[in-house]
């Protein structure tokens, strides 16, 4: 849930004077995204999402995110398209925050994805990875493998409060990943946060990808590993092999795998699980007083990591 910065109608009108969208018909704060303030704007010329970027997003990264959405949209990927103001800029300022307007996307995110949804998101992710081939901006992954040990240092002291023995398991996993992390896999811009919240469907077909604010340059297969963690486990913690097979097969139809990518999937899945385990652990012990965002349970990713540690090969994910 968001809406951190209140925008009054008069402030909106002043901001919109620079945009060719016509008069305002409706303007409502919406509970979408957790990092920024989002409004749904109905104007005479269309529907838009107006985003005010709050402190957790580095302003220097905004041109990367907006250019990426623009690039993807022009390549036919269904994602928000940044609207330019009368000076040709995608980025403006509203109530002291950087602000951007993007096109509105129809569709609804699903709480309980089916195998069909998993296939749709696998294909959609692969199409995005193909589409970034000629996107020439880069952004380092601030939550990449190299940074996990530092992140762990800030929250490891609290791990055993979550589950007895968790700190030792994390230490063990960090050592294993350091020894085995794959190098030289195909890379490019990845979404890095393609959870069900960030994918819209219409009649069970993918209608849009949103929230590119973790996008960065990293290994394509790591993005797929993040998706598999987010989409292919049931709420009871069990792994749904059918969903994983549909996800990975649909991805491969759009972007064929190199052999090394298939071989690396099990370790990338472990890394992706550890990454979300660590950030959830960090957030759970660094909750801001009065924050409206509910922290997510680190244990969900402890269980996922434990599953991946038992996996013997990519075949268990339906690959190879």
Point out which residues bind a second copy (CB under 8 A).
1, 3, 8-12, 23-32, 40, 42, 104, 106-112, 202-203, 290, 292
Q: Provide the pairing of β-strand 199-202 with 187-190.
A: unpaired
The least distance separating a second copy from the CB of residue 39, rounded to whole angstroms, comes to 9
Classify residue 111 as left (phi > 0), alpha (psi -120 to 50) or beta.
alpha
Q: Give the residue with the Cβ less far from a second copy, 112 or 312.
A: 112
For residue 252, CA distances in Å to 30, 226, 230, 269 come to 35, 16, 18, 17
Confirm if 261 and 223 have CB atoms less than 8 A apart: no
Q: For a second copy, which is the closer residue by CB, 78 or 169?
A: 78
Closest approach of a second copy to the CB of residue 219, in Å: 31
Closest distance to a second copy from the beta carbon of 288 (Å) = 12
Nearer to a second copy, 10 or 164 (CB): 10
Yes or no: say if 199 and 123 are a contact pair by the CB < 8 Å rule. Answer: no
Nearer to a second copy, 133 or 202 (CB): 202
The two three-digit tokens of residue 44, written as one number: 């005479």
Based on CB atoms, which residue is closest to a second copy, 31 or 260?
A: 31
Q: How far apart are CA 196 and CA 50, in angstroms?
A: 21
**Nearest distance in Å: CB 215, a second copy:** 22
State the DSSP code for 294.
P
23 phi/psi in degrees, rounded to 5? -70, 155
Q: Find out whether 211 and 196 touch, Cβ atoms under 8 Å.
A: no
Residue 266 tokens read as 């099990």
Kindly state the smallest distance separating residue 171's Cβ from a second copy, in Å.
33
As a whole number of angstroms, the distance between CA 222 and CA 261 comes to: 9
Contacts with 308 (C-beta within 8 Å, 6 or more apart), sequence order: 266, 269, 270, 273
Structure tokens at 70: 């623009």
Least distance to a second copy, CB of residue 36, Å = 14
* Closest distance of CB 25 from a second copy, Å: 5
Please report how close the Cβ of residue 150 comes to a second copy at its closest, in angstroms: 31
Q: Where are the beta strands (DSSP E) in 132-220?
A: 187-190, 199-202, 205-209, 216-219
In the bound state with a second copy, the residue whose beta carbon lies nearer, of 20 and 204, is 204
User: What does the radius of gyration of the chain's CA atoms come to, in whole angstroms?
Assistant: 20
**CA separation for the pair 253, 5 (Å, rounded):** 43
CB-nearer residue toward a second copy: 67 or 109: 109
CA torsion, points 128, 209, 230, 285, in degrees to nearest 10? Answer: 120
Least spacing, CB of residue 66 vs a second copy, in Å: 22
Q: Smaller CB distance to a second copy: residue 142 or 287?
A: 287
Instruction: For a second copy, give the closer residue by CB, 192 or 194.
Output: 194
């Amino acid at each position: 849930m968001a809406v951190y910065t209140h925008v009054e109608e008069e402030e909106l009108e002043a901001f919109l004077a620079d945009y060719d969208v016509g008069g305002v018909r409706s303007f409502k704060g919406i509970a979408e995204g957790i990092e920024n303030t989002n409004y749904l704007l109905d104007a005479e010329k269309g529907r838009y999402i107006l985003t005010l970027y709050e402190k957790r997003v580095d302003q220097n990264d905004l041109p990367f995110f907006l250019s990426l959405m623009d690039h993807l949209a022009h390549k036919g990927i269904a994602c928000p398209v940044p609207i330019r103001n009368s000076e040709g800029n995608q980025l403006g300022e509203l109530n002291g925050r950087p602000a951007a307007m993007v096109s509105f996307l129809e569709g609804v995110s699903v709480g309980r994805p089916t195998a069909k949804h998993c296939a749709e998101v696998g294909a959609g992710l692969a199409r995005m990875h193909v589409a970034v081939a000629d996107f020439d901006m880069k952004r380092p992954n601030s939550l990449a493998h190299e940074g996990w040990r530092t992140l762990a240092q800030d929250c490891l002291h609290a791990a055993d409060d979550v589950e007895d023995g968790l700190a030792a398991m994390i230490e063990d996993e960090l050592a294993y990943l350091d020894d085995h992390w794959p190098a030289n896999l195909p890379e490019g811009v990845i979404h890095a946060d393609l959870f069900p919240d960030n994918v819209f469907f219409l009649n069970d077909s993918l209608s849009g990808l949103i929230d590119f604010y973790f996008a960065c340059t990293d290994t394509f297969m790591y993005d797929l590993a993040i998706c598999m963690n987010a989409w292919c486990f049931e709420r009871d913690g069990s792994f749904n092999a059918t969903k994983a097979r549909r996800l990975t097969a649909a991805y491969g139809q759009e972007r064929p795998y190199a052999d090394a990518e298939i071989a690396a999937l099990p370790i990338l899945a472990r890394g992706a699980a550890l990454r979300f385990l660590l950030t959830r652990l960090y957030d759970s012990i660094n909750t801001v007083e009065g924050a409206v965002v509910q922290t997510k349970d680190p244990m969900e990713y402890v269980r996922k990591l434990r599953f991946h540690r038992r996996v013997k090969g990519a075949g268990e994910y339906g690959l190879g």
